[in-house]
């Protein structure tokens, strides 16, 4: 900025210069607020002046872009040079939320090697001296990845693209010292890489598995840890299939490690370490490794700032999803209040194997992948057999290459892609329902005698947080159905998930709705518990909840169901890791509720008081065409409980404003990672 002073006396000139100096100070303060501390930015020095090796790398930024080789590149948000009053450093900076690279949940400003090499190389080396200047100030302390950053990696360019080395720094809020540790990620055997896990080795301080007992409770400060701004060095050598690691820091013990990259020690489940059993197995990441680990796969180095703290909800993944502040992705707001990672490097070097080849295939596969549209039909291929009704009343007949950003789309939870079904408490629904849904509707119709089969593996991520606890349908969603297409159009099967506010665990149960003889307003459901309660367990007052179910299912906890109708009998199987498998059978063509004396006690308690006390056709659903439904059928609505104490939940709907309902937890959201549909098949063995 230039200032010109003409024809002024000295006194006035000094006054104006003082004003300009104050103005400049305000500008600098404003820039500091926007971008963090910039007073030491070395504006005339390029990264390659500090560390002359950038011709060997592509640079990925915290906005997801690949800017290529960065010998002369600068970006004041992500990548620049700074001076700490004694020497120049290269700064890598990345927010908690931005655009990511590849399939990762986490942002990075990180170098990725332009060549790849096999682990049996004669010599591949990387070393660096660095200091971590900032890790996120927010996050869930019980999540292992929170408050951490990866400063160096070995990454596979082939197969599952897993990571045999990640070097971490992690510091809890309020602590002066943080931990440095390194993780080995197994190269998972088989095609299901969602079962992969890390084993963590402490260097100074803790390993990855040391977490807080709650979201805001921290373990004791590590006595031998590394402070923010304290320099340390690492050296990584891969030679003849073995990885050699050396870590140094002044005033700390030098640490060395070796790890065989071509002969696995985790080939069977008995070899899974206790650390992994405690951290990863509870979230279903319990795979085994290929016998020859990373042999035959192209590997490459990475270096920089790979921020491990993100804004994803911990109920999605309790190891990798931190629930940190992201300001809806506003990078400058994240930088202003400390929700970012920043790492400074003063030296680094790389030695490339003579057998290394181009790594272009990795970049071609991963550049821009996070912004690529992935349709639900790419995750669950049976979408051609269904149509959908969404939470705003929109019907769509053809679902191949279809998605909707508010109701029906895909996500990655850290290990795999899922199809998301989301719907508010109040929107537009079908003609005979009080409840919104984003739900598939099978195109084929079949009778119970003809049969059909539906499977689904899902996790419920949200049920409404408002409602009336006295109402059986409150806080519940249906994730699978059989629906009749004829007669009364009743529902011989509804699979529910329900969780009361304040509880960690919810219930899974299934309902059978009678095919009413005569007046269908007299119809009722009979509910059978799977894990937790059945539908009839309700609160005594609007805000008074029953005890939490002991064997329930948490939000974000995966479970599976199979519905198999064969020769008029409905067979149900429910499975979930860590829970007893449950099986049931129900005759759909011969009723057990043909007289009033047959009404179950549960129905007498729940439905008879509101006048729903009908009996069923003796042949039940025999000969009636029906179809499967799957997705999120929200059972919580805004209707007054005074009119119906079973189905009218009295929940908040914000006048039908869908965006406000989503903002305030007044919706349901269900994720499916796998599902099939087809003909019925013979089946034996049930619990009931």
pLDDT tens digits, one per residue of 322-350: 999 999 999 999 999 999 999 999 999 99
Residue 2 has pLDDT above 90, yes or no: no
* Cα Dmax for the chain: 108
Q: Which two tokens stand for residue 224?
A: 């031998």
**pLDDT, tens digit, 9 for 90 and up, residues 34-56:** 334 444 555 679 999 999 999 99
Measured between alpha carbons, how far is 550 from 547 in angstroms, rounded to an integer?
9
Mean pLDDT of 544-554: 96
C-beta of residue 496 within 8 angstroms of C-beta of residue 635: yes
Mean pLDDT of 210-226: 97
**pLDDT, tens digit, 9 for 90 and up, residues 382-435:** 999 999 999 999 999 999 999 999 999 999 886 788 999 999 999 888 666 779
Q: Is 379 helix (H, G, I), strand (E, B) or coil?
A: helix
Residue 40 is predicted with a pLDDT of 55
Residue 645 is predicted with a pLDDT of 94
DSSP 8-state assignment for residue 562 = E
Measured between alpha carbons, how far is 436 from 393 in angstroms, rounded to an integer?
8
Residue 284 is predicted with a pLDDT of 87
Instruction: Indicate left, alpha or beta for 609 from its phi (over 0: left) and psi (-120 to 50: alpha).
Output: alpha
Measured between alpha carbons, how far is 232 from 306 in angstroms, rounded to an integer?
17
Q: Which of 401, 429, 680, 439 is nearest to 563 (CA)?
A: 680
Q: How far is CA 467 from CA 461, 462, 580, 652, in A?
A: 17, 14, 30, 7
Percent of the chain with pLDDT over 90: 86
Beta strand 299-307 with 108-113 is antiparallel
Residue 686 has pLDDT above 70, yes or no: no
Residue 373 is predicted with a pLDDT of 86
DSSP 8-state assignment for residue 117 = B
**pLDDT, tens digit, 9 for 90 and up, residues 473-530:** 999 999 999 999 999 999 999 999 999 999 999 999 999 999 999 999 999 999 999 9
**pLDDT, tens digit, 9 for 90 and up, residues 446-483:** 999 999 999 999 999 999 999 999 999 999 999 999 99
Give 531's pLDDT tier (boundaries 50, 70, 90). Answer: very high
| Rounded to 5°, angle at Cα 51 from 50 and 56 | 145
| Rounded to 5°, angle at Cα 671 from 143 and 582 | 95
Q: Which two tokens stand for residue 217?
A: 């409770």
What's the CATH fold of domain 376-678?
Jelly Rolls (2.60.120)
| Highest CATH level, class, for 36-371 | mainly beta
Residue 365 is predicted with a pLDDT of 87
For residue 619, count CB atoms less than 10 angstroms from its CB and return exposed for 0-12, middle for 13-18, buried for 19 or more.
middle
Residue 9 is predicted with a pLDDT of 43
Instruction: Provide the residue ranges of all domains of the chain, joining segments of one domain with +.
Output: 36-371, 376-678
Give 624's pLDDT tier (boundaries 50, 70, 90). Answer: very high
What does pLDDT average to over the chain? 92
C-beta of residue 644 within 8 angstroms of C-beta of residue 474: no
Which alpha helices (H) appear in 319-369, and where do they start and end?
A: 331-336, 360-366
Residue 142 is predicted with a pLDDT of 97
Torsion of CA 343, 348, 353, 358, to 10 degrees: 50
**Model's pTM, two decimal places?**
0.76
Mean pLDDT of 549-573: 97
Mean pLDDT of 117-129: 95
Q: Which string of b and e fits 164-182 if b means at least 16 CB within 10 Å?
A: bbbbbbbbbeebebbbbbb
Measured between alpha carbons, how far is 108 from 125 in angstroms, rounded to an integer?
22
Q: Which residues contact 150 (CB under 8 A, 6 or more apart)?
A: 166, 167, 168, 306, 308
Give 683's pLDDT tier (boundaries 50, 70, 90). Answer: confident
Give 356's pLDDT tier (boundaries 50, 70, 90). Answer: very high
Which is more confident, 430 or 376?
376
Length of the chain: 688
Residue 13 has pLDDT above 70, yes or no: no
Measured between alpha carbons, how far is 200 from 211 in angstroms, rounded to an integer?
13
Residue 37 is predicted with a pLDDT of 44
Same topology between domain 36-371 and domain 376-678: yes
Q: How far is CA 350 from CA 111, 116, 125, 232, 511, in A?
A: 12, 13, 6, 17, 63
Residue 29 has pLDDT above 60, yes or no: no
């Amino acid at each position: 900025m230039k200032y010109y002073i003409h024809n002024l006396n000295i006194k006035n000139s000094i006054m104006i210069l003082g004003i300009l100096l104050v103005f400049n100070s305000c500008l600098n303060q404003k820039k500091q607020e926007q971008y963090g501390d910039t007073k030491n930015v070395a504006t005339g020095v390029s990264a390659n002046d500090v560390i002359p090796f950038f011709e060997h790398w592509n640079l990925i930024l915290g906005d997801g872009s690949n800017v290529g080789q960065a010998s002369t590149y600068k970006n004041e948000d992500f990548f620049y040079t700074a001076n700490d009053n004694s020497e120049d450093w290269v700064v890598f900076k990345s927010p908690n939320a931005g655009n990511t690279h590849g399939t990762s949940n986490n942002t990075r400003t990180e170098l990725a090697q332009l060549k790849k090499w096999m682990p049996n190389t004669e010599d591949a080396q990387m070393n660096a001296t660095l200091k971590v200047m900032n890790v996120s100030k927010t996050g869930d302390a019980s999540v292992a990845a929170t408050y951490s950053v990866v400063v160096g990696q070995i990454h596979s360019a082939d197969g599952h693209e897993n990571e045999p080395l990640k070097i971490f720094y992690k510091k809890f809020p309020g602590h002066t010292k943080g931990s440095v540790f390194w993780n080995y990620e197994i190269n998972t055997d088989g095609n299901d890489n969602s079962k992969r896990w890390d084993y963590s080795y402490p260097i100074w301080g803790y390993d990855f598995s040391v977490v807080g007992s709650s979201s805001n409770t921290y373990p004791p400060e590590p006595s031998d840890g590394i402070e923010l701004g304290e320099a340390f060095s690492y050296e990584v050598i891969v030679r003849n299939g073995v990885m050699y690691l050396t870590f140094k820091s002044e005033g700390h013990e030098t640490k060395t490690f070796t790890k065989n990259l071509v002969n696995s020690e985790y080939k069977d489940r008995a070899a899974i370490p206790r650390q992994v059993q405690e951290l990863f197995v509870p979230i279903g990441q319990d795979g085994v490794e290929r016998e020859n680990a990373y042999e035959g796969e192209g590997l490459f180095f990475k270096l920089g700032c790979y921020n491990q703290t993100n804004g994803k909800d911990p109920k999605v993944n309790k190891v990798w999803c931190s629930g940190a502040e992201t300001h809806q992705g506003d990078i400058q707001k994240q930088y202003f209040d400390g929700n970012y990672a920043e790492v400074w490097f003063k030296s680094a070097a790389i030695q490339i194997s003579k057998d290394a080849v181009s790594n272009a295939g990795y970049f071609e596969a991963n550049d821009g992948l996070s912004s690529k549209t992935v349709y639900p039909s790419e995750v669950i291929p049976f979408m051609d057999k269904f149509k959908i009704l969404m939470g705003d009343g929109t019907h769509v007949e053809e679902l191949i290459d279809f998605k909707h950003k508010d109701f029906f789309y895909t996500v990655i939870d850290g290990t795999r892609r899922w199809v998301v079904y989301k719907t508010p408490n109040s929107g537009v629904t079908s003609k005979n329902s009080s409840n919104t849904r984003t739900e598939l509707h099978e195109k084929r119709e079949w009778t119970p005698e003809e049969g059909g089969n539906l499977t689904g593996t899902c996790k419920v991520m949200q049920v409404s947080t408002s409602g009336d606890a006295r109402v059986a349908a409150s806080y519940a969603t249906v994730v699978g159905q059989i629906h009749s297409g004829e007669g009364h159009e009743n529902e011989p099967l509804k699979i529910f998930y329900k969780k009361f506010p304040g509880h960690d665990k919810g219930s899974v149960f299934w309902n059978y709705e009678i095919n009413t003889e005569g007046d269908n307003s007299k119809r009722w459901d009979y509910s059978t518990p799977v894990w937790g309660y059945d539908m009839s367990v309700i609160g005594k007052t609007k805000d008074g909840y029953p005890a939490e179910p002991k064997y329930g299912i948490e939000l974000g906890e995966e479970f599976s169901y199979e519905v198999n109708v064969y020769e008029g009998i409905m067979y149900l199987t429910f499975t979930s890791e860590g829970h007893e498998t449950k099986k049931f059978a129900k005759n759909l063509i011969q009723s057990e509720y043909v007289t009033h004396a047959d009404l179950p006690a549960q129905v007498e308690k729940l439905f008879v008081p509101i006048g729903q006390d009908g009996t069923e056709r003796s042949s039940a659903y025999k000969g009636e065409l029906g179809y499967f439904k799957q997705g999120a059928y929200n059972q919580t609505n805004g209707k007054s409980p005074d009119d119906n104490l079973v189905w009218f939940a009295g929940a908040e709907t914000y006048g039908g404003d869908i965006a406000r309902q989503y903002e305030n937890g007044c919706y349901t959201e269900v994720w499916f990672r796998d599902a099939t549909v087809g003909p019925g098949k013979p089946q034996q063995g049930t619990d009931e």
